[in-house]
């Protein structure tokens, strides 16, 4: 029964018309749900969520450049219009290939992937690519 009341509070007409992303509602407090909500959600958490949902920073794109590996020993890179503190440069050939592979390895999230990926590259260089699975 309590869950039904809580769902009713969440779906009432006021909440459906309230736009959290509207800039006119930046300082407006979002009213709390009905009498069942205090038992389910602490008030401090609701106040935090009101402020958290109404205030947001704008998205800002940062160009990191372009790199592409083009087979074993070849690649291209364009770092001319980046927002990085690196020198503006374009590159091609083996240097771009090494830069791409180094960047790819540093973006891995686990140590196991950082170890396995060079092993897979070595296996592909020695035995060729595995095309048995489609």
Condensed to tens digits (0 to 9), the pLDDT of residues 61-115 reads 888 888 888 877 899 988 888 887 877 888 899 998 998 889 899 999 999 999 9
pLDDT digits (tens, 9 = 90+) for 12-65: 655 566 666 777 766 766 656 555 555 555 556 667 677 666 656 677 888 888
CA torsion 121→127→129→134, rounded to 10°?
Answer: -130
Burial letters for 69-108: b for 16+ Cβ neighbours within 10 Å, e otherwise?
A: beeeeebbbbbeebeeeeeeeebeeeebbebbbeeeeeee
The model's pTM: 0.50
Pairing of strands 75-78, 66-69: antiparallel
CA 29 vs. chain centroid, Å, equals 29
Backbone angles phi, psi at 104, to 5 degrees: -60, -45
């Amino acid at each position: 029964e309590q869950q039904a009341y809580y769902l009713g509070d969440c779906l009432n007409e006021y909440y459906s018309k309230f736009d959290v992303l509207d800039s006119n509602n930046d300082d407006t407090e979002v009213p709390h749900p009905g009498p069942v909500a205090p038992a389910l959600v602490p008030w401090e958490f609701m106040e935090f969520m009101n402020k958290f949902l109404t205030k947001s920073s704008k998205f800002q794109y940062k160009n990191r450049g372009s790199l592409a590996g083009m087979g074993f020993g070849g690649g291209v890179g364009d770092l001319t219009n980046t927002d990085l503190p690196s020198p503006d440069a374009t590159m091609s050939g083996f240097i771009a290939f090494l830069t791409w592979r180094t960047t790819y390895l540093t973006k891995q999230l686990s140590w196991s992937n950082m170890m396995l990926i060079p092993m897979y590259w070595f296996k592909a260089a020695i035995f060729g690519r595995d095309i048995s699975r489609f």
